[in-house]
Amino acid sequence: MALYLVTAVLSGYSLILLSERIMRRLFTILITSLLLYSCSIHGSFRGLYSYYHQTKKDCPGLAIQPLNSIAIQGQDSAVIYLINGIDLSRLLKKSDDAVVYIWKPNCIGQYCYSLNHIQELCTAKGLDLFVVAEYYDCTMMQLTYELERPLYGIDTPYYRSNRTSKYRGRFLKDIQPEMSLQGSFLKFRSGVFVSSFKDISDISQ
């Protein structure tokens, strides 16, 4: 009888310890989920949507204009020129060797690069650089960049979509339908797609 009571007490104690561990784990999962949910509400959705209209509203000092002859000739850091894939394809055909960089203004990671650094490398390699913003950001687009060409932005009104995944695909298809995107860099020769890559070191290849 005594042995039975001891066994029962030990079993009950083990169940209590197990229950405490499960509760702690569930509590941790709950807190993590709440934090992620909070971030999704109050954080930034940059990269999922264009923020074209919001940027025009919040950034009166930043001019977002249609592509024109001035954009082809020179660079103005206070102006973002709207461009679609068809117009970009026309510009690329005028260049012997060119690199298109699909710029994510708020990108943070291994394959995110300074625009000035990319320009320096392209200049050293004799490559024409075309920087095209994937989405719009007031703060990053008002900074001064040492680019040889204007800063372009995908013409989201032209593609009639505010979702990045939609208008980006249409934009790339307009450049060349069979083109495959493996990274943010696209290399062209006389307007013909050569390769796509994500590592800046591949520019020289």
Q: Where are the domains of the chain?
A: 1-43, 52-204
CB atoms within 10 A of CB 18: 10
d(CA 115, CA 103): 8
Structural tokens at position 133: 């913003």
The predicted model gives 125-145 an average pLDDT of 96
| Strand ranges for 79-182 from DSSP E | 79-83, 97-103, 128-133, 151-154
Cα dihedral 25→31→107→87 (10° resolution): 110
How far from each other are the two terminal CA atoms of the chain, in whole angstroms? 82
What is residue 137's predicted lDDT score, i.e. its pLDDT? Answer: 96
What is residue 30's predicted lDDT score, i.e. its pLDDT? Answer: 44
Non-local CB neighbours of 46 within 8 Å, separated by 6+ positions: 105, 106, 135, 137
Per-residue pLDDT of 173-196, as tens digits, reads 999 998 878 899 999 999 999 999
Is pLDDT at 118 greater than 50 in this prediction? yes
Segment among 76-85, 181-190, 193-202 with least mean pLDDT: 76-85
What is the chain's mean pLDDT, rounded?
Answer: 81
d(CA 185, CA 93): 17
What is residue 112's predicted lDDT score, i.e. its pLDDT? Answer: 95
Q: 32: pLDDT confidence band, cut at 50, 70 and 90?
A: very low
Q: Domain 52-204 is of which CATH architecture?
A: 3-Layer(aba) Sandwich (3.40)
Task: Count CA atoms closer than 13 A to 129's CA, side-chain side.
Answer: 29
What is residue 135's predicted lDDT score, i.e. its pLDDT? Answer: 97
Say what the pTM is: 0.76
Greater pLDDT, 69 or 130:
130
Is pLDDT at 42 greater than 70 in this prediction? no
Is pLDDT at 11 greater than 50 in this prediction? yes
Task: Count CA atoms closer than 13 A to 202's CA, side-chain side.
Answer: 15
d(CA 140, CA 103): 11
